A = this chain, B = another copy of it.
């Protein structure tokens, strides 16, 4: 069967987005949620800290009274008591008075700064201060960490360790995360016999796992319509991926399976590598069909499948690390196709050098290991010229 409906990547993303199934969220401990997509927006329920607190071990006092303090001419205070983070303050502090405060202790009325213990000398209840402090120096001010109603995490944002601290701070120890699951099967007699190693499938499984999604590999199935159908039926995930067997070749039986069990959303994508990438709906489920070659499969997973998932969930694609540099070798593009070219970068005088790897060779996984980033060439361009300033999206795993 021939490819007739090559469509653009943007088109494929918006078509694909319509066909994703609704999945339930899963609630997990916040501590295990790092790297996963939050499905909940969390706003701060109050000001943090709730009141001005000391940010140091030291003495709370009025900063005005330290203006001329120095080693030779210390400012002198009477120490009125001590406060801990757990203390409640029931008194205020007057002129010439200071209060010993531990880090986190509330600041009593009448004080507006904390002088570090190391800049003082305490003798009985007498305190000498050797250097001036500015107003609110060494003070964590009410609401300075998080103001009430500030957004801590948006729905669709991936959870980081600082989010964990902020969520705990708000009393949130569990959070709903995206529980989208992906099942991956590979087709090809050569994989079943072991003539060719199936390196694409474990890479895709680990790729989606590393994105905080659920993924499971279903091994390889021989080039046989019935066997492919049987294996697909056994896969319980929300989204299925089939690698290999997508082409117009003689042993590419997948189109026949699609014809029997569902319909194509699109067949063929204007990207390189990855032009045979297709999407069908079979028994109500989206089934992405990718090349069996590792680089083509990875490019399609990153630029189509993950983006469809993020789109559907209203998830946010993090702003990538995009840099500019000077292309060191011309690259020809197949007009009408968006090319994802692996590049290495080198710092040099006159700015960053961008050294393209190959645009073909979609089996060439080493070119990805070795690459620093991806240069995208748009559909309407015939290529990029040597010496041209180009943008590179740095690879971050």
Once the chains bind, are B210 and A197 in contact (CB under 8 Å)? Answer: no
Contacts of A368 in B (CB 8 A): 162
Please tell me if A193 contacts chain B, counting CB pairs below 8 Å: yes
**Contact of A84 with B251 in the complex, beta carbons under 8 Å:** yes
Q: Which residues of B contact A249 (CB under 8 A)?
A: 57, 102-103, 117
Size of A's binding interface in residues, CB under 8 A? 91
Nearest-neighbour CB distance to chain B for A25, whole angstroms, equals 19
Q: How many copies are assembled?
A: 2
Contact A196 B361 (CB under 8 A): no
Which B residues lie within 8 Å of A44 (CB)? 366
Encode A151-178 as 1/0 by CB contact (under 8 A) with B: 0110000101111111011010100000
Q: Does A199 contact B (CB under 8 A)?
A: yes
Give every chain B residue within 8 A of A49 (Cβ-Cβ). 363
| Chain B residue nearest in CB terms to A101 | B249
The stretch among A27-35, A64-72, A375-383 that forms the contact with chain B is A27-35
Residue A14 at the chain B interface, CB threshold 8 Å? no
B-contact 0/1 string along A96-112, CB 8 Å cutoff? 00001011100000000
Q: Does A85 contact B (CB under 8 A)?
A: yes
Chain B residue at smallest Cβ distance from A33: B206
Apart from A138-B360, A145-B366, A161-B203, 11 more pairs, CB < 8 Å = A30-B206, A31-B217, A49-B363, A84-B251, A86-B189, A86-B196, A103-B247, A117-B247, A161-B206, A169-B199, A321-B321
Query: Can you name 10 A-B pairs with beta carbons within 8 Å?
Result: A30-B202, A55-B361, A85-B195, A104-B293, A152-B369, A161-B210, A165-B203, A166-B365, A168-B198, A169-B197
